[in-house]
Amino acid sequence: MSKQVVVVGGGVIGLLTAFNLAAKVGQVVVCDQGEVGRESSWAGGGIVSPLYPWRYSPAVTALAHWSQDYYPQLGERLFASTGVDPEVHTTGLYWLDLDDEAEALAWAEREQRPLSAVDITVAYDAVPVLGPGFKRAIYMAGVANVRNPRLVKSLKAALLALPNVTLRENCQITGFVQQGGRVTGVQTAEGVLAADEVVLSAGAWSGDLLRTLGLELPVEPVKGQMILFKCAEDFLPSMVLAKGRYAIPRRDGHILVGSTLEHAGYDKTPTEDALESLKASAVELLPGLEGATVVGHWAGLRPGSPEGIPYIGPVPGHEGLWLNCGHYRNGLVLAPASCQLFSDLLTGAEPIIDPAPYAPATRLG
């Protein structure tokens, strides 16, 4: 295919969409209003699993399972080609004192995932720094986390090395260009950028951009705040999650604790209230963090969507326009499968999974 494809949005979804398409189309241009990958892709924790996978629909589960299985080889491939290691770090994950433990275990049996109840003493033996008072635990082996800022850097380096890919950072898209009912490009501050196909992967901003065509896409910004500690490299051997808050160990001893869930429009200002709340959760989970220095505190905007199901596929009535957006809390989790499915659809290949649940045609108002 000798088409020119313009991808609007340079987060992990947009970058990986471009990476998958580059071998199959003529030219790919990625436009981002800022620096690529600096919004929710940079801000998230990078757990390669939905926080509570049993609470999601089969549509999210299908993407999550494919992505979880694929992530290690994606990390290796990017590291080998760029020298930037995304650090796909397999630690497993303990959930503590869940209200819906029975549902979690039933889901694991139904989906044949390696999640099981363990005696609480097993959790304390495995994670000696865990706080006191927890009564029950379930554990899923094989759950990894990816160091999302490094994943972004690795994807960017991989794309910059490809002769048919162009990255246009600080490129504000104000709307779409149409001719005869077909979308034929995007309007930028520097003028029109023509395209055979346009992909909207603009995260929390996707709904605003689609509204310029008179279409309502129920994707809205949902703020999340995180904090980062620095500890010894062996301080936390596994990810842990309790009362809606999680702690994620990086290989070098950094510990991420998150996150808040706030509807505050496009405001990304970190707040003192959230900092104190996250610190309290951190110390309750891991008392050894008491007095530890917070080396980072930031906020990002998730692309909130109904049931967290992304929109993947062509936009009806607007030939040439495609969506790959609305991943809510699971953009990093679902990215490999979402972007492979998207590439399959755009190029006419056999889709890796049934695309029907994500189709804009049945879900746009």
105 with 145: CB under 8 angstroms?
A: no
CB 91 within 8 A of CB 145: yes
**Given this model, what pLDDT does residue 365 score?**
66
Q: What is the pLDDT of residues 154-207, one digit of tens each?
A: 999 999 999 999 999 999 999 999 999 899 999 998 999 999 999 999 999 999
Q: List, for residues 84-118, the tens digit of each pLDDT value.
A: 999 999 999 999 999 999 999 999 999 999 999 99
The one-letter amino acid at 219: V
The domain boundary residue, chosen from 280, 304, 328: 304
Can you give the pLDDT at residue 191?
Answer: 95
Residues of the chain under the 70 pLDDT cut? 365
Tokens found for residue 190: 């520097």
State which of 304, 319, 344 marks the end of a domain: 304
Report the distance separating Cα 286 and Cα 255, nearest Å.
10
Q: Which of 265, 287, 304 is the last residue of a domain?
A: 304
Number of C-beta neighbours around residue 347 at 10 A:
14
CA distance 39 to 127: 32
Q: Specify the DSSP element, H or E, that contains 168.
A: strand 165-168
- Return the biggest CA–CA distance within the chain: 67
Domain range for 99 is 93-141+220-304
Residue 327 lies in a domain: yes
Q: What is the DSSP letter of 329?
A: G
Same domain, 137 and 224: yes
Residue 128 shares a structural domain with residue 241: yes
